[in-house]
Amino acid sequence: MVSSLAPLSLDVSFWTGLLDATVAAGTIFIIASLGEIIAERAGILNLGMEGMLLVGALTGFMTTVVTNNPYLGFLVAILAGTTMAAIHAFLCISLKSDQVISGVMLTLLGTGLTTYFGQGWTQHNIDGVKQYTLPVIGEYLVGVPVIGPALFESAPTDYLAILLVPTVWYVLFRTNVGLELISVGEDPETADTMGVRVFRLKYLAVLVGGAFAGLAGAHLSLAYAQLWVAGMVAGRGWIAVALVIFARWQPKYAIVGAYLFGMLEALQVRSQGITFTVEGAPVLVNEVIKFFTHPQIMSTYPYFVTVAVLAITVARSREGASAVPSALLEPYSRETD
């Protein structure tokens, strides 16, 4: 494959930029999907992820503009995401409302609030979070072609996202709190009889998931895009929910799917202005390649992959091979169960 501008295979800067953008874009999906995994492991589905990401992105951006401190922006975004999650937890756990309806309501609420309150912030510019070289080994390896800048010179949240994967895995599967949380999502009645504080753990899981969503939203506006635009999350919240299914509710698989979606997004952005062709191929073949590599067509790829993931999951569930928590979407009431 070649480019109309230069031979793509020899354009090292293209691949370096693509990998760097993949890591930055993938961070959003990693953090958001880890938060969703924690909530769903406790039996609570959170379809409000899209709205929480938007709220986190706007509050983090507003705080950074006012204080000129992006780290304070991250903190406020985390608190905003946690607040949104508290609404979801109260509705679904205390009032036992339908989790799907509550989640969709939160997405609509977050979209409406950020569209209204974010009108006056689109013209502001910020420096955002600076990229840092990984301590000790980074200064020696950052010069490695293609992979060096992406892996050893990134935003702090990029490093944090990678560290969160083994951390969340360890907490869920190697600590008492994590194992109790999983038992709540599998069989809350049995867990209750064993002395596990079911309602407290459900609340904790949803609130932590909301904090992760706020952090992911802040990364989008402060580190990735470094601006605010209404609706800038653009479906990433829904993709994060689907990514949980792709990862089979396992943090270690979430990072793979996150970087896959991140690469699709980065490729769509960086392919603008480049025409892909095959030298010596028939005109029809090159026209087909141009069609499928057109930026607007490529922007749909993450959603096609999402639909494919959902379809495969439904098929596996019918075969009894689904890893979905047994009590997901089921409200628990001590008085009736």
Region 68-81 average pLDDT: 95
Of 256, 253, 261, the closest CA to residue 307 belongs to: 261
- pLDDT, tens only, 103-121: 999 999 999 999 999 998 9
The pLDDT, as a whole number, for residue 337 is 46
Long-range contacts at 63-71 (CB < 8 A, ≥ 24 apart): 64/126, 64/128, 64/222, 65/121, 65/124, 65/126, 70/126, 70/128, 70/129, 70/222, 70/223, 71/129
- Taking a C-beta distance cutoff of 8 angstroms, is the pair 99, 329 a contact? yes
Region 55-59 average pLDDT: 97
The helix (run of H) or strand (run of E) holding residue 154 is: strand 153-154
- pLDDT, tens only, 256-284: 989 988 988 888 777 666 666 667 777 77
To the question of domain 2-131+141-318 being in CATH 3.40.50, the answer is no
Instruction: Answer yes or no: is pLDDT of 63 > 90.
Output: yes
CA distance 205 to 38: 6
pTM for the model stands at: 0.88
Per-domain boundaries in the chain: 2-131+141-318
Task: Provide the sign of the torsion angle of the four alpha carbons 165, 170, 175, 181, taken in this order.
Answer: positive
